[in-house]
């Protein structure tokens, strides 16, 4: 019998080629929280002036971080995390989240946006599509009730800013969720929006420019 | 490794069935008429006295589940030692439960094995107020123990009144399907109840007529009472633990773990998001698109190659034709080809000048185009943020056989291309009758040198480091040519192994056709020449292939030498992608030992690439000459690594589980059979994975 443990361990240490991916996977499994910088994020971080930023967090997982605005096209903003995950926002409303594990692939939230940005209570339908664990797209429809929770204030860079706080309670066939928005002058400054049942709500807060 | 990996995966929450220690829906030992949700994989290990049963059950259809069981009975064979018993079950739902009538199921337990557990049953289960379940039924064979009576089927025919001795033919007849014994001999009644105290805890009581006669005679197990009592606890992740007091003499314990192949660890995956499409004016203003003379196209190609590489794709072919562009890429990252195509399309839109309106994207393997997908640039812009972008984009994409390649189209750096792979491997074997699991771990090195499109020189080396694969002392007792059953000698007499060393050429002789020729050490036991042709229209569910090989058996040291045995072997194959997640394959031809016959393989394939299947081979080798098992058969399991990790990967964990590996119906294991190479890029597979096109 070949007891070649030393050989094997040396080989493991020096594994290379595509096996590097395997080791990355292993490392990822052992240290899920270790930072992984994506080349697109590194490139974006070196852009000057610094692109607009968004403070984000998944309260359900105790994760938080900063996203940078990567692109805006036809009113849809794509924001990027350091490890290469993105969200898209349309008028401040979340329309997709890719790379976080939840499969929010696309959304139609125009009816909600119309009411929210006007700070109007009412009911609206919204639609989300999800990429599921079987690589299939599922379309889900929700009926949402938007209510005003009244005036509130949030702190941006330590400065209190008066806002309207609104809540949107949505019910679908399989799941229900609640989004919260802090809105000023037709713009969403801060929000907590649902990304799907896998990760729950994503908290987002705009970071105003220094000048 | 596969099983260990599965344990790491997220278990599925299976609703309130109880699983018996035989690993199928039931109470403690007796079955019930329940089914798992379609597609569920259930792993159960049950212990009582000196018996351990490990069972994998797969709900292959909503109304059929099948099981493979490995049982160890300590001391069962006296002097020889423990008994390792492999058995297969099939269980059919005859009628679903309704408001007024129970569910009804028919079961065949151990229908083709050594017959220790051989029994058949008809069982009914009715649920009351969602908490109480009553089951009752009639069993034959092993179940006809305590309180058995003359077979009621005897009124149909006298042959049902007696049951021939299952082991009369000795070990050589095992594996033959015992149609002859089913539902014959005496019968007995069984039954029981389960009551769900709450969502976690269920109490169980049953009457089991099993007398454990063989165990009583051989290991002194006494089934003093037919009543068994147990409690089952269901954990939050869906796994179940059952503790029981059995047969008035012993305690039992069983644990079940469930997997839903449709639920990967992270539904949308945790790999990096695709690059968003840039506004077209920003692309036009990019430095590589500015009209600064002759260097622009070269600079653009460089940027394209670099941005593709960032997405795990290698640019090998590029050709502009008016307002459209033909591109060939090799995908080294994504399990779904649709995702590779989507990423390529995005990179093209973000790098190419505005006048390029259409992209013909060909997925290539070693320089051979597998298929081509035409994407209109404007559709990308229109659908990027669409609610139903995946399906709408598929409706607008055109899948065709291939792009027409011109000589100057291959990029300058594409070929020759060298790649290597270095890392650990694990080889497991389940087919040794003396040990349920043999394994070997070590280091492997793979080298591939693609000298020109289609022509690849390839080598694979393995250095075993540890394991018990070579501990097998069992000599082959095969009476036909020993084409596979000497595997123990290969493991013992080899150290550093040349798994393969080949020159391979793959080309396209015509539309919808692929061809392959391979020369060299084709696999660890055979070397020679292999030729194959495959007909596979781009949009077809059906593919047909033919393969012819002339091979010589390699020396047991798995280095350069050959033994005396040489043979011609080859098959005609038909592959059919059945609707509804099923795939069938038939291979008919001449096998390694010179026997003629056919192999039928049926797989359940989930869209995410998770596969579970079974196969059997019948050849001109008689059941007697084949030996233990009577004919070649087994089950296979294939799991994409991305299913386990949530990160994109083309790697797969695959394991074939055979009850026994012998010489009849043995096929050559040549690498890169054309169907496996090409299938991922053909329309049927693309459509299954298209949900990832925009991912």
| Backbone phi, psi, residue B142, to 5° | -55, -30
Instruction: Say which CATH topology domain A47-207 has.
Output: YmcC-like fold (2.40.360)
Residues B363 and B443 in one domain: no
CA distance A100 to chain B (A): 5
pLDDT at A34 over 70: no
Residues B126 and B11 in one domain: yes
Residues B615 and B664 in one domain: yes
Check A106 against B463: CB less than 8 A apart.
no
pLDDT reported for residue A1: 35
CA distance A178 to A144: 9
Q: Kindly list the residues from chain B whose CB atom is less than 8 angstroms away from the CB atom of residue A28.
A: 645, 647
Asked if B269 reaches chain A (Cβ–Cβ under 8 Å), the answer is yes
Domain end call among B381, B414, B447: B414
User: What is the token pair recorded at B496?
Assistant: 């550093």
Check B423 against A22: CB less than 8 A apart.
yes
Residues B295 and B424 in one domain: no
Check A137 against B388: CB less than 8 A apart.
yes
Residues B543 and B615 in one domain: yes
The answer to whether residues B496 and A35 touch, using CB atoms and an 8 Å cutoff, is: no
Helix B337-351 crosses helix B296-310 at what angle (to 10 degrees)? 150
CA distance B575 to B364: 22
Check A129 against B387: CB less than 8 A apart.
yes
Q: Kindly list the residues from chain B whose CB atom is less than 8 angstroms away from the CB atom of residue A19.
A: 421-423
CA-based nearest residue in chain A for residue B469 = A1
Q: Which of B271, B336, B465 is nearest residue A99 as measured by Cβ atoms?
A: B271
Asked if B296 reaches chain A (Cβ–Cβ under 8 Å), the answer is no
The answer to whether residues B682 and B689 touch, using CB atoms and an 8 Å cutoff, is: no
Q: What is the pLDDT of residues B421-461, one digit of tens each?
A: 888 888 887 766 677 678 889 999 999 999 999 999 999 99
pLDDT at A39 over 80: yes
Q: What is the pLDDT of residues A1-27, one digit of tens each?
A: 344 444 444 434 333 334 444 445 455
Q: Kindly list the residues from chain B whose CB atom is less than 8 angstroms away from the CB atom of residue A7.
A: 443, 463, 465
Residues B391 and B361 in one domain: yes
pLDDT at A164 over 90: yes
Exposure string for B417-432, b = 16+ CB within 10 A, e = fewer: bebebbbbbebbbbbb
CA-based nearest residue in chain B for residue A99 = B270
Residues B211 and B72 in one domain: yes
**Which stretches of B366-492 are assigned E, i.e. beta strand?**
368-376, 398-400, 417-429, 438-452, 455-467
Within a domain: B328: yes
Q: Kindly list the residues from chain B whose CB atom is less than 8 angstroms away from the CB atom of residue A37.
A: none
Cis amide prior to A49 (ω within 30 degrees):
yes
Residues B397 and B425 in one domain: no
Q: Which of A84, A133, A139 is nearest residue B388 as measured by Cβ atoms?
A: A139
Within a domain: B272: no
Q: Kindly list the residues from chain A whose CB atom is less than 8 angstroms away from the CB atom of residue B689.
A: 135
SS (H, E, C) B203-236: EEEEECCCCCHHHHHHHCCCCCCCEEEEEEEECC
C-beta atoms surrounding B678 within 10 Å = 23
Provide the ipTM: 0.87
Domain end call among B414, B449, B472: B414
C-beta atoms surrounding B81 within 10 Å = 11
CA distances (Å), origin B564, targets B306, B483, B554: 51, 12, 9
Residues B605 and B569 in one domain: yes
Within a domain: B198: yes
Per-domain residue ranges for chain A? 47-207
Q: Over chain B, what is the mean pLDDT?
A: 89
3-state helix, strand, coil in chain B (%, to 5): 15, 45, 40
Check B422 against A15: CB less than 8 A apart.
yes
pLDDT at B611 over 70: yes
Residues B235 and B287 in one domain: no
What's the structural domain count of chain B? 3
CATH of the domain at B333: 3.30.300
Residues B522 and B379 in one domain: no
Residues B222 and B97 in one domain: yes
Residue located via tokens 């220094």: A210
Q: What is the pLDDT of residues B167-215, one digit of tens each?
A: 544 444 555 565 667 888 899 999 999 999 988 999 999 999 999 988 8
Domain end call among B397, B414, B431: B414
Full domain range(s) for residue B388 = 280-414
CA distance B695 to chain A (A): 7
CA distance B131 to B317: 64
């Amino acid at each position: 019998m070949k007891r070649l443990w030393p050989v094997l361990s040396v080989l493991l240490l020096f594994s290379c080629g595509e096996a590097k991916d395997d080791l990355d996977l292993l490392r990822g499994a052992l240290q899920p929280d270790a930072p992984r910088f994506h080349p697109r994020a590194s490139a974006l971080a070196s852009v000057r002036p610094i692109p607009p930023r968004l403070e984000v967090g998944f309260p359900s997982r105790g994760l938080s971080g900063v996203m940078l605005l990567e692109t805006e096209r036809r009113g849809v903003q794509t924001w990027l995390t350091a490890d290469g995950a993105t969200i898209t926002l349309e008028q401040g409303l979340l329309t997709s989240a890719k790379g976080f594990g939840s499969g929010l692939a696309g959304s139609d939230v125009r009816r909600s946006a119309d009411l929210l940005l006007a700070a109007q209570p009412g009911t609206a339908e919204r639609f989300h599509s999800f990429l599921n664990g079987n690589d299939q797209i599922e379309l889900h429809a929700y009926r949402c009730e938007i209510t005003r929770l009244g005036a509130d204030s949030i702190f941006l860079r330590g400065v209190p800013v008066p806002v309207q706080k609104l809540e949107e309670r949505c019910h679908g066939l399989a799941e229900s969720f609640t989004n919260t928005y802090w809105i000023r002058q037709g713009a969403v400054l801060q929000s907590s929006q649902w990304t799907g049942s896998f990760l729950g709500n994503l908290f987002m807060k705009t970071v105003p420019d220094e000048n | 490794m596969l099983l260990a990996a599965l344990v790491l995966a997220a278990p599925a929450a299976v609703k309130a069935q109880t699983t018996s220690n035989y690993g199928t829906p039931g109470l403690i030992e007796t079955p019930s008429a329940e089914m798992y949700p379609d597609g569920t994989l259930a792993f159960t290990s049950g212990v009582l006295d000196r018996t351990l049963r490990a069972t994998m059950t797969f709900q292959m259809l909503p109304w059929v589940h099948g099981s493979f069981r490995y049982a160890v009975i300590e001391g069962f064979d006296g002097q020889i030692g423990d008994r390792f018993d492999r058995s297969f079950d099939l269980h059919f739902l005859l009628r679903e439960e309704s408001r007024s009538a129970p569910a009804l199921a028919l079961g065949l337990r151990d229908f083709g094995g050594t017959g220790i557990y051989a029994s058949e049953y008809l069982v009914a289960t009715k649920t009351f107020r969602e908490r109480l379940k009553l089951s009752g039924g009639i069993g034959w064979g092993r179940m006809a123990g305590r309180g058995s009576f003359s077979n009621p089927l005897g009124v149909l025919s006298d042959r049902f009144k007696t049951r021939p001795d299952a082991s009369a033919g000795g070990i050589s007849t095992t594996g033959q399907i015992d149609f002859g014994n089913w539902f014959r001999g005496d019968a007995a009644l069984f039954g029981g109840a389960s009551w769900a105290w709450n969502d976690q805890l269920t109490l169980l009581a049953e009457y089991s007529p099993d007398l454990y006669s063989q165990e009583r005679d051989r290991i002194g197990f006494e089934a003093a009472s037919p009543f068994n009592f147990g409690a089952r606890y269901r954990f939050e992740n869906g796994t179940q633990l059952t503790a029981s007091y059995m047969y008035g003499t012993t305690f039992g314990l069983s644990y079940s773990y469930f997997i839903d192949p449709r639920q990967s660890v992270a539904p949308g995956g945790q790999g990096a998001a695709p690059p968003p499409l840039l506004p077209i004016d920003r692309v036009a203003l990019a430095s590589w698109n500015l009209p600064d003379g002759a260097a622009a196209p070269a600079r653009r190609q460089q940027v394209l190659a670099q941005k593709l590489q960032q997405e795990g794709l290698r640019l090998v072919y590029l050709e502009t034709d008016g307002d459209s562009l033909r591109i060939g890429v090799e995908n080294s990252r994504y399990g779904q080809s649709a995702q590779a195509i989507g990423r390529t399309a995005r990179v093209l839109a973000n790098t190419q000048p505005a006048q390029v309106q259409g992209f013909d994207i060909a997925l290539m393997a070693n320089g051979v185009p597998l298929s081509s997908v035409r994407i209109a640039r404007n559709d990308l812009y229109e659908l990027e943020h669409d609610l139903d972008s995946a399906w709408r984009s598929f409706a607008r994409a055109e899948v065709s056989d291939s792009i027409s390649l011109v000589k100057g189209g291959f990029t300058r750096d594409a070929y020759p291309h060298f790649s290597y792979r270095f890392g650990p491997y694990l080889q497991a074997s389940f087919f040794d009758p003396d040990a349920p699991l043999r394994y070997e771990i070590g280091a492997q090195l793979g080298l591939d040198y693609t000298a020109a499109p289609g022509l690849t020189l390839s080598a694979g080396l393995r250095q075993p480091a540890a394991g018990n694969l070579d501990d097998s002392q069992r000599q082959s007792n095969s009476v036909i040519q020993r084409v596979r059953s000497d595997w123990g000698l290969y493991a013992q007499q080899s150290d550093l192994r040349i798994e393969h060393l080949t020159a391979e050429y793959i080309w396209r002789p015509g539309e919808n056709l692929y061809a392959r020729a391979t020369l060299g050490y084709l696999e660890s036991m055979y070397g020679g020449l292999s030729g194959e042709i495959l007909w596979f229209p781009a949009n077809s569910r059906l593919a047909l292939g033919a393969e012819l090989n002339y091979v010589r058996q390699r020396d047991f040291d798995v280095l350069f030498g050959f033994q005396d045995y040489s043979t011609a072997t080859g098959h005609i194959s038909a592959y059919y992608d059945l609707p509804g997640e099923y795939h069938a394959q038939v291979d008919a031809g001449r096998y390694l030992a010179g026997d003629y016959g056919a192999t039928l393989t049926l797989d359940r394939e989930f869209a995410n690439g998770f596969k579970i299947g079974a196969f059997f081979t019948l050849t001109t080798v008689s059941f007697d000459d084949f030996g233990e098992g009577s004919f070649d058969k087994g089950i296979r399991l294939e799991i994409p690594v991305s299913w386990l990790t949530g990160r994109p990967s083309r790697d797969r964990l695959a394991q074939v589980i055979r009850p026994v590996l012998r010489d009849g119906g043995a096929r050559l294991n040549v690498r890169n059979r054309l169907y496996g190479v090409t299938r991922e890029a053909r329309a049927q597979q693309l459509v299954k994975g298209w949900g990832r096109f925009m991912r």
